[in-house]
Structure formats: C-alpha cells, structure tokens
C-alpha cells in the first residue's frame, strides 16, 4: 500500500516582467496585457500539514515588514482552499522570501503553492487544466506562478504560453523601502494616458531576444508601459534605474507594477558587483538581491 503523506512543502518562485504592454481597460476593469514573464530564483516555501484546526503561520525574510502579509481571512491561501472545496483543516506555514507589494507576484506565488499543496494533501487529483483555471480565479499572475520558466502572457495576464528559453539570465533586484499598490499604479496609468489603444504594445522584440539567447538583445528590447505611471508617483525609481546602469548593469527596468527595479547583467560576478554598488549608494533601497532565471514554477520539494 502507498503510505499517505501528512505534510507537503511546495516552493513557488517570484516573477519578473521582461515586457509589459498595457491596453485600454476592458469592461471588467482589467487591462489587456501582452507580457513576457520570467520566474527567478527567489522563492516562498509553503508547508501544509493535516491538523485539527485551520491556521496560517508566517515566517518573513528580514527585508519584509511585519504586518505586510495578512495572516487572517484575507490571505490568498484561504481563497485557494475555498476554490478546492476546503476538504479538511490544515496547518499552513509560509516561509516568505519574495518581497511584498513589489511587482514580483509574491502573493500569487503563495496562491499557486497553496493550490498545489492542498490538492496533494486532500488528494483532490485536480487536472492541470482545472488547476490553471482555479489559479486564474485567484489572480492574473497566479497561472504563471504554476507554470514558471519563461512564458508569454496575454488576456489580463492569466493566459500563459511557455516559451523555450536556453538562456541563464542574471538579475539584480533593488527592493524599495515602500511598496506600490498594483490597482493604484494601473489607475494612475489610466489618468496619465487617456484613450490608449485597446491592443497592448507587442512583446515581439523581447520574444525575439529570448529566442536569440543574446543578453544585449534582451537588454535593448525590455519594455514596461507601467514605468511611466510608477515613476510619476515615485521619481526616485527613475534615479535608481540610472544608478544601476552606471554601476555596470546592461539595463535597468521596473518590474510589473513596481516598485522593484530589476537590472539585467552579463554574469553572476557582474550582478554581485552591481548589487554591491547599488546597495551602498541608495538609502531608499531596502535590500538588493541577486537571482537568476528561468526557474521552475510551483513544485513539491518535500513530503512526509
Ligand atoms: O488579478 P489581480 O488580483 O492580481 O489584480 C489586482 C488589480 O490590479 C486588479 O484589481 C486591477 O486593478 C489591476 N489589474 C489590471 N489589469 C490587469 C491585472 C491587474 O487593471 N491585467
């Protein structure tokens, strides 16, 4: 007989957007996107264990503020459990390394990890297709957190096509002292750019650069429509981009709705040198991390 596991740990990655084209808001309020995601080696680990009572415990990296992640009803793990039909109680523990309100889909990663972990714990045997459907109900970025790697995103971001990516790309992430709210950044973009095209700016240049494997081609092609809105709210971010580039990064760009700025570097050594330079120079930067991508989407790392 196959022994039944009492506990599963699932690891889910942070994401960057290498391209983010935004179109005019749809009737449901969401913006159509043409985006290229990449999963990078910064992770949240979520452990679920059978228990008598439902509980969520958080263990936060030292650069994440206490209270930044809701531990109660509002935690995305509760929504994931409800979507699976909440079969039994469980003890959830989340080790968070993905920065919060940073444009790196930290909440989405926890949502994806919870779907995978609770599906196993409760033996739901949800098909991949149905799991992706539940993920899209949790949030626009959650399907990508399941898929990982490098991928093309359309719709409101939830329609995800994996891309072949032979590169190993090195990134420096400058985390801000203050988060930015995603709805706020989209709303500011609406104010700054009235009457935009319904069709978002195409990701073709980034798709071509990824296919070529050339780091300088990717540096030239990267694009984020939300930068203008976020820089208008937070002029310090534009200064930060220039600083990282002057420290030797090939290209700096805000990721997602920000405020994290990602710097593309030629190698691990170059990334470490840029990280050290940026950390010393800027007081509004909370922490500088180095990570590479692409990495896998949400996956089981241990069970017992
Ligand atoms: O889907 P998710 O919950 O991550 O979206 C959070 C908010 O970000 C939405 O309520 C909306 O204000 C904004 N958003 C958007 N267009 C998208 C994705 C998100 O306007 N494609």
Domain chopping of the chain, boundaries: 7-164, 169-293
Residue 149 backbone class (left: φ over 0; alpha: ψ -120 to 50; beta: rest): left
Average pLDDT of 208-223? 98
Establish whether the linkage from the previous residue to 259 is cis, with ω within 30° of 0.
yes
Q: What pLDDT band is residue 71 in, cutting at 50, 70 and 90?
A: confident
101 CB near ligand 1 (under 6 Å): no
Residue located nearest, by CA, to atom 8 of ligand 1: 183
Average pLDDT of 287-303? 97
pLDDT at 231 over 90: yes
pLDDT value at residue 7:
97
Distance 140 CA to ligand 1 centre (A): 7
pLDDT value at residue 42:
98
For residue 108, the ligand 1 atom closest to its alpha carbon is: 4
200 CB near ligand 1 (under 6 Å): no
pLDDT digits (tens, 9 = 90+) for 49-67: 999 999 999 999 999 999 9
Among 110, 112, 183, residue to substitute to test ligand 1 (most atoms within 8 Å of Cβ)? 183
Average pLDDT of 7-23? 98
Q: What pLDDT band is residue 72 in, cutting at 50, 70 and 90?
A: confident
pLDDT value at residue 2:
59
Is 0.85 topped by the overall pTM?
yes
111 CB near ligand 1 (under 6 Å): no
pLDDT value at residue 88:
94
pLDDT value at residue 5:
80
Q: Which fold has domain 7-164?
A: Ribosomal Protein S5; domain 2 (3.30.230)
Distance 139 CA to ligand 1 centre (A): 8
Burial of 27 (0-12, 13-18, 19+ CB in 10 A): exposed
Question: One fold for both 7-164 and 169-293?
Answer: no
Q: Which two tokens stand for residue 188?
A: 């500011």
183 CB near ligand 1 (under 6 Å): yes
Q: At what angle do helices 106-121 and 128-138 cross, to 10 degrees?
A: 140
pLDDT digits (tens, 9 = 90+) for 245-290: 999 999 999 999 999 999 999 999 999 999 999 998 777 789 999 9
Helical spans, DSSP H, in the chain: 76-83, 106-121, 128-138, 142-147, 182-192, 204-212, 215-221, 227-233, 236-246, 268-281
Asked whether the CA dihedral 137, 142, 148, 154 is positive or negative, the reply is positive
47 CB near ligand 1 (under 6 Å): no
pLDDT digits (tens, 9 = 90+) for 101-134: 999 999 999 999 999 999 999 999 999 999 999 9
Query: What does CATH list as the number for 169-293?
Result: 3.30.70.890
Distance 186 CA to ligand 1 centre (A): 8
pLDDT value at residue 3:
66
pLDDT value at residue 280:
87
Q: In the predicted model, what is the mean pLDDT of the chain?
A: 96
pLDDT digits (tens, 9 = 90+) for 125-167: 999 999 999 999 999 999 999 999 999 999 999 999 999 999 9
């Amino acid at each position: 007989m196959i022994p039944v596991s009492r506990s599963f740990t699932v690891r889910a990655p942070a994401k960057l957007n290498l391209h983010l084209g935004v179109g005019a808001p749809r009737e449901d309020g969401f913006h159509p996107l043409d985006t290229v995601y990449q999963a990078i080696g910064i992770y949240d680990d979520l452990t679920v264990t059978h228990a008598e009572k439902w509980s969520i415990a958080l263990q936060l990296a030292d650069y994440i503020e206490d209270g930044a992640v809701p531990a109660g009803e509002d935690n995305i793990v509760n929504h994931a459990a409800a979507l699976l039909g909440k079969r039994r109680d469980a003890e959830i523990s989340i080790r968070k390394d993905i920065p919060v309100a940073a444009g790196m889909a930290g909440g989405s990663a926890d949502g994806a990890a919870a779907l995978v972990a609770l599906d196993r714990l409760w033996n739901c045997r949800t098909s991949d297709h149905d799991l992706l459907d539940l993920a899209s109900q949790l949030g626009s970025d959650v399907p990508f957190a399941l898929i990982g790697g490098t991928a093309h995103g359309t719709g409101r971001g939830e329609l995800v096509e994996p891309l072949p990516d032979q590169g190993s790309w090195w990134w420096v992430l400058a985390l801000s002292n203050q988060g930015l709210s995603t709805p706020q950044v989209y709303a500011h973009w609406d104010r700054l750019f009235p009457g935009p095209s319904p069709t978002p700016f195409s990701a073709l240049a980034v798709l071509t650069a990824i296919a070529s494997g050339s780091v300088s081609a990717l540096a030239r092609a990267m694009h984020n429509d939300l930068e203008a809105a976020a820089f208008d709210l937070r002029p310090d971010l534009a200064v930060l981009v220039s600083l990282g580039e002057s420290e030797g990064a090939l290209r700096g760009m805000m990721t997602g709705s920000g405020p994290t700025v990602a710097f593309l570097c030629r190698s691990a050594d170059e990334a470490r040198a840029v990280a050290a330079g940026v950390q010393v120079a800027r007081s509004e930067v909370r922490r500088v991390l180095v990570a590479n991508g692409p990495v896998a989407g949400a996956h089981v790392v241990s069970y017992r």
